[in-house]
Amino acid sequence: MEMIDQIRDRGVADPRVLEAMRQVPRVRFVPPDQAGDAANDGPLPIGFGQTISQPYVVAYMTELLDVSPSHTVLEIGTGSGYQAAILGRLAREVYSVEIVPALAARAAAVLRELGYANVHVRGGDGFGGWPEHAPFDRIMLTAAPEAIPPPLLDQLGAGGRLVAPVGPQGAVQWLTVLDKADESAGARRTIPVRFVPFTRR
């Protein structure tokens, strides 16, 4: 079964998300020795103790984020760059921060080769976000903090949405959606997940 069909069968229905998943070549974002498994619906190691997320989870989180073509998006945890590429298909601008310098450089190079001029990658500690480009319409975390870092909430614009796995390492984390209406923020849990921990410099 095609990867896109598997994702659709598990409930992801947004046609823009499915088309972005179809257009982005996941094989370009995995190490050469993992290329044979790139089309499978499962996570894969990308080095430095990090992984490229399962395509279903990428699609599900992207659908939850509800990105419009006018949006500016902040991603914390570039990793392979795959999620950033998906977001780049949907948003006006994507700013992505990766704490592992080698991964940031590799992701930036692949994104550049594939022509994603609207995706900007920076190496650094994601706790502080990317204040120069705030406020953001949407924020996604692809590593799990025990609580959402306050600077990220500050950089989320009014009416914005944040999607993140939240919870302790080694235990159940919950994919959490936080909507910021005016000055209040309301969060809801969706599905249990397992992500790499949100680390600090």
Which CATH architecture describes the domain 3-193? 3-Layer(aba) Sandwich (3.40)
Report the alpha-carbon distance of residue 30 to residue 32 in Å, rounded. 6
Q: Is the pLDDT of residue 182 over 70?
A: no
Domains of the chain by residue range: 3-193
Mean pLDDT of 167-177: 89
Report the alpha-carbon distance of residue 198 to residue 196 in Å, rounded. 7
Please tell me what DSSP assigns to residue 83.
Answer: H
Q: Is the pLDDT of residue 140 over 60?
A: yes
Mean pLDDT of 177-185: 78
pLDDT tens track for 44-65: 889 888 888 899 999 999 999 9
Q: Is the pLDDT of residue 34 over 90?
A: no
Q: What pLDDT is recorded for position 185?
A: 67
Q: Is 96 a catalytic residue?
A: no
Mean pLDDT of 156-177: 92
Q: Is the pLDDT of residue 13 over 60?
A: yes
Confidence of residue 199 (pLDDT cuts 50, 70, 90): confident
Report the alpha-carbon distance of residue 193 to residue 167 in Å, rounded. 9
pLDDT tens track for 61-119: 999 999 999 999 999 999 999 999 999 999 999 999 999 999 999 999 999 999 999 99
Choice among 53, 68, 96, 184 that is catalytic: 53
What mean pLDDT, rounded, does the chain reach?
A: 92
